[in-house]
Amino acid sequence: MRDAVAAGVGAGRLRRSDLGRPFHGIRTQPGDDDLDPDEDEDPFARQARERLSRIRACAPRLRDGQFLCKESAAALWQAPLPLATKDGIAIPGDRLPVHIGVFGTAPLVRASGIVGHRARAETTSTRMLDGIPVASPASTWASLGTLPLVDLVALGDYFCRAWRDGPGRPDAGRPALATLDQFRLAIGSGRRVGIVRLREAVELVREDSWSPRESALRCLIVFAGLPEPTLNHDVYDSRGRFLGCVDLAYQERRIAIEYHGVLHRSRYARDVERIAALRAAGWTVIEVTAALFSNQGELLRRIRRALLG
């Protein structure tokens, strides 16, 4: 509130009930996050949005030498964190703790809703993102070794994504947030919680995965002992006409594996036409829904059958 007082905001206004109080000494104005939530919003997206709003509300508390770390750093980098749950129910993102790191002997941040962490300069580097000090992508990833292996791979895929040229590929040429070499340097720079899992995960990270669901599907296939498919493969017909970019492909066998999330009508219609064109060109297309992904035995049987066919 010190900044508000310095800007001339009166004490009475700061006590008004319409202002949010996410943290001691912080006031927020009503905004989009105070509106009724979209009932159709993906729970991952909702939690990420709420968590990010809470983190940004906490940012004015940061003092010299303090920075966002661990899950809070990943959230600020907009990385795909796993859904945080309690008793099988998603926790509202605005109830998740904010993780703040300090170096050396600086005092840990102690406040309601905040978890303080002590970091070492040799294992953690920081950057500024949107004016907020935050652990670098590689340092952030290497600090999350307690996460399940597949979630670590999905986070690594996100940070290391190479934005290549190609039809329908967004943001071509955009630099990756991190590299595999930076990951290896980060996990080798000192003691890490979950170091065995981090070492396993870094070998599974790829540079052309577009979503955490693609990452999870690829891991399922590889862990089952099947050949690793190519990611986001561009398919052309015999006349050179672009048919689409498929999520995963065994191009020599002309097998495409497509994951379908929650789709809007226009996107669904485009996918129907794209898959029809692929099949007309002689491709076998395995369509994976959330329901099929949960039945992993059946999904793997379909992939094996296609590979043997």
pLDDT exceeding 90 applies to what percent of the chain? 79
Does any domain span residue 127? no
Q: pLDDT digits over 240-263, tens only?
A: 999 999 999 999 999 999 998 765
Q: How far is CA 176 from the centre of its chain?
A: 14
Does any domain span residue 110? no
Tokens of 200: 């396993």
Query: How far is residue 243's CA from residue 275's CA, in Å, rounded to a whole number?
Result: 9
| pLDDT at residue 172 in the model | 87
| Count of the separate structural domains present in the chain | 1
Query: How far is residue 81's CA from residue 300's CA, in Å, rounded to a whole number?
Result: 25
246: domain CATH number is 3.40.960.10
Query: How far is residue 76's CA from residue 69's CA, in Å, rounded to a whole number?
Result: 9
Query: How far is residue 72's CA from residue 79's CA, in Å, rounded to a whole number?
Result: 10
| pLDDT at residue 259 in the model | 95
pLDDT at 126 over 70: yes
Query: How far is residue 125's CA from residue 71's CA, in Å, rounded to a whole number?
Result: 15
Q: pLDDT digits over 48-89, tens only?
A: 999 999 999 999 999 999 999 999 999 999 999 999 999 999
From the CB of residue 276, how many other CB atoms can be counted at a distance below 10 Å?
12
Give me the domain span that covers residue 269: 209-309
| pLDDT at residue 25 in the model | 53
Mean pLDDT computed over 203-225: 97
Does any domain span residue 172? no
| pLDDT at residue 264 in the model | 56
pLDDT at 98 over 60: yes
Does any domain span residue 249? yes
Contact assessment for residue 68 and residue 51, using Cβ atoms and an 8 Å cutoff: no
Contact assessment for residue 233 and residue 249, using Cβ atoms and an 8 Å cutoff: yes
Tokens of 264: 């809007």
Q: pLDDT digits over 2-18, tens only?
A: 554 454 555 554 456 55
| pLDDT at residue 16 in the model | 62
Q: How far is CA 290 from the centre of its chain?
A: 18
Does any domain span residue 78? no
Task: List the single range of 186-190, 191-195, 261-265 with lowest mean pLDDT.
Answer: 261-265
Q: pLDDT digits over 29-59, tens only?
A: 655 444 455 666 889 999 999 999 999 999 9
Query: How far is residue 84's CA from residue 151's CA, in Å, rounded to a whole number?
Result: 12
Name 194's Cβ contacts closer than 8 Å, sequence gap at least 6: 144, 145, 146, 147
| pLDDT at residue 167 in the model | 86
| pLDDT at residue 5 in the model | 44
Mean pLDDT computed over 206-216: 96
Residue 85 main-chain phi, psi, to 5 deg: -130, 160
- Average pLDDT score, the chain: 90
With cut-offs at 50, 70 and 90, classify the pLDDT of residue 100: very high
With cut-offs at 50, 70 and 90, classify the pLDDT of residue 169: confident
Query: How far is residue 285's CA from residue 279's CA, in Å, rounded to a whole number?
Result: 7
Does any domain span residue 156? no
Does any domain span residue 128? no
Total-model pTM = 0.86
Name 299's Cβ contacts closer than 8 Å, sequence gap at least 6: 220, 286, 288, 292, 293
Query: How far is residue 231's CA from residue 41's CA, in Å, rounded to a whole number?
Result: 27
Q: Hey, what amino acid is at 132?
A: I
Contact assessment for residue 281 and residue 237, using Cβ atoms and an 8 Å cutoff: yes
Please, where are the H alpha helices in the chain?
Answer: 2-6, 11-14, 43-58, 70-76, 137-142, 149-159, 180-187, 195-202, 212-223, 265-280, 290-294, 296-308
| pLDDT at residue 250 in the model | 99
Does any domain span residue 307? yes
The closest alpha carbon to 277, from 251, 242, 303, belongs to 242
